[in-house]
Amino acid sequence: NFFLHFVDCEKLPSGNTAKNIKLNGVRDIGGIAGSASGTVSIINCTAKGIIEATSIRETANIGGILGGSSATLTMTNCRNMVDIVAPVTNVGKVGGLIGTITSGSTTITTSYNSGNINVSSSNATPYAGGLVGSASASLTISNSFNNANIEAACTTNSPYAAGLVGNSSSSLTIL
């Protein structure tokens, strides 16, 4: 059993671009799926375009492929080319592939990010990573890379930003 929550973007402008996302109460935003739970495999996927989040009331997790995961997740041969721009009050965890991993275990293999990330926040501490914004559950990354700029800023706290994983508070293996 698995669950993928898709953000409703049925009428995107040409070029697969989602701009000026205004979602009240939605915490997980992704280029392919908002959130995942259960046992999930995401294989051979490509996301292109722009996620421009300019008005979010709750702390949001944003990923080029997947916003948030509490799943036993395998991501294989995926490419993100989505630029993420989030100059909002409550940006949370932002990653080129996955915004946040809260439970379960995740394995990312032969995948990459080439979408730039530019986040800033005045309330929440932003976590930004080329592959994963933040992981508080087991994460293994192999044969995967980031080839994009990662920028994070916050007026009240120090942001976390890195080429692969913005922050990890659990088991992290990079091969």
**Contacts for 49 with CB less than 8 Å, ≥ 6 apart:** 12, 15, 16, 17, 18, 31, 81, 82, 83
Residues 61 and 100: beta-carbon distance below 8 Å: yes
- Collapsed DSSP state (helix, strand, coil) of residue 170: coil
- The pLDDT score that the predictor gives to residue 55 is 60
- The pLDDT score that the predictor gives to residue 58 is 62
pTM over 0.75: yes
**Contacts for 167 with CB less than 8 Å, ≥ 6 apart:** 93, 127, 129, 133, 134, 135, 160
- The pLDDT score that the predictor gives to residue 5 is 44
Q: How many Cβ atoms from other residues are within 10 Å of residue 93's Cβ?
A: 32
- The pLDDT score that the predictor gives to residue 104 is 93
Walk along the chain (175 residues) in steps of 10 and give the mean pLDDT of each run: 41 40 61 86 87 69 91 93 80 90 96 94 84 96 98 86 95 95
- The pLDDT score that the predictor gives to residue 161 is 92
Q: What is the dihedral of CA 92, 165, 41, 119, to 10 degrees?
A: 30
